[in-house]
Structure 1
Amino acid sequence: MARPMLTTLVLRSLQAPREVARFLIALDLPMSARFTALGAVMALSAALGTAAELLFSFVTKVDLGPPTNPLPMALVQGALMLYAAGAMAFFGRQFGGTGRFADALILVVWIEFLLILGQVAQILVMVFFPLVSVLGTLALIGMLFWLLTQFTAALHGFDTLFKVAFGVIAVFFGSAMLFGMLLLSFGIVPVPTPL
């Protein structure tokens, strides 16, 4: 993809997200290309996470120990994106939507790419204004929900953003609770004990 087109798509994603979602869906990329894009953002996100950890330790002078291995981070990131795409397609169809998993996948990958760009900007801000980077985190969370709502509406042909936003938030928190219970049941996260 040419750089000017990529820049335009990034900017339009914030200005007219549903238009960009429809454009990405209309590309009708082969499944192999979608999974290649997934792998690319998995690797970028994991590398960026490790770099941010090292930079945070350097800027704050806090010893965080050895850096986190990026491979497990990448695998978890990939699993979460596949789940997000599946949830976006499945739950939307339960409410009369027409979106496909393949299209949900490319939309989730694009959202992750936009979040990576936001994280790069946040890291640059952290170097000079460490406290301001906290606001950047809140902005990225807001952008995530905004894009998920807009892209889900475009994927399924929904018109009422309020209902879509409610559905996105409900699925997000429901999924978080489910994963939390699974982690506890498998002993990955220990149950807190009273002092």
Structure 2
Amino acid sequence: MTFEDLKMLFLSTFRDPQGTARWLIGQNFPIGARWIAMLLMAVVSALLGFLWNAILMLRMPVEVTAVAAGSSPLDNPLMMAAIQIFAIVLSAGAMAYVGRLFGGRGRFEDAMVLTTWIEAVMIPVECINLVMVLILPALASITGIVVIALFFWLTAQFVMALHGFRSAGKVALGMFGTLLALGLLLYPLAAMLGMLPELPQ
């Protein structure tokens, strides 16, 4: 696949997300290629996240950065990559199996392709957001909301294509319920790993 092919696929993701998702599923990529692509996207996302953290630390007061330095697993790029891999696999599993509970027909292997592609598509978007934060920090909250909204919109569209669902509202409700359930389940693990911000004394 050439750069031009990737560019056209990237643009079609926003023009026709469900059509793009169905095209990706129809390629029947080898399972090894799916895992390699997922690992690659996890590493790139982890590097971008590490850069985000570094910039945020630079923008904080010296007293805060001195206390926070080295206090979180997210300060370790390898740990961040491992967390990103876990997040993509968990997202693919939730996309496939929760959808099947509601009558969907999607497979985990295809969900992994879709979650990996969403990750790939979001990387340039997050880079643009990062540049906006550096140039126009006053708009950081607005651009951040746009990025989050775009991510959830693409995910909902891909879920509909994966399972053949027709109601975007029901899919959005199912995604919200799944996120809430996963958040409750993963909160103790995140707290144990020191990934949650400390509460002020």
Residue matched to 2:126: 119
Q: Partners of 2:189 and 2:54 in 1: how far apart? A: 30
Residue matched to 2:28: 28
Q: Which moved more, 1:170-179 or 1:49-58?
A: 49-58
* Cα offset, 1:176, TM superposition: 0.8
SS of 1:29 mapped into structure 2:
coil
Cα deviations across residues 132-168 of structure 1 (Å, max 9, x unaligned)? 1222211111011111111011001111111111111
Off by >6 Å, runs of 4+ in structure 1:
192-195
Cα deviations across residues 31-90 of structure 1 (Å, max 9, x unaligned)? 1101111111111011111222233444x3644355721110010011011011011110
Q: RMSD across aligned C-alpha pairs, in angstroms? A: 2.3
Gaps of 5+ in 1: none
From 90, 112, 115, the counterpart of 1:105 = 112
Aligned length: 192
Gaps of 5+ in 2: none
State whether structure 2 residue 83 is matched by structure 1 residue 79: no
State whether structure 2 residue 182 is matched by structure 1 residue 170: no
**TM-score, normalization: structure 1?**
0.89
* Cα offset, 1:115, TM superposition: 1.7
When residues 86 and 135 of structure 1 are mapped into structure 2, their CA distance, relative to the original with a 3 A threshold, is same
SS of 2:137 mapped into structure 1:
coil
From 156, 159, 164, the counterpart of 2:163 = 156
When residues 6 and 194 of structure 1 are mapped into structure 2, their CA distance, relative to the original with a 3 A threshold, is closer
Q: Work out the percentage of aligned pairs sharing the same amino acid.
A: 32
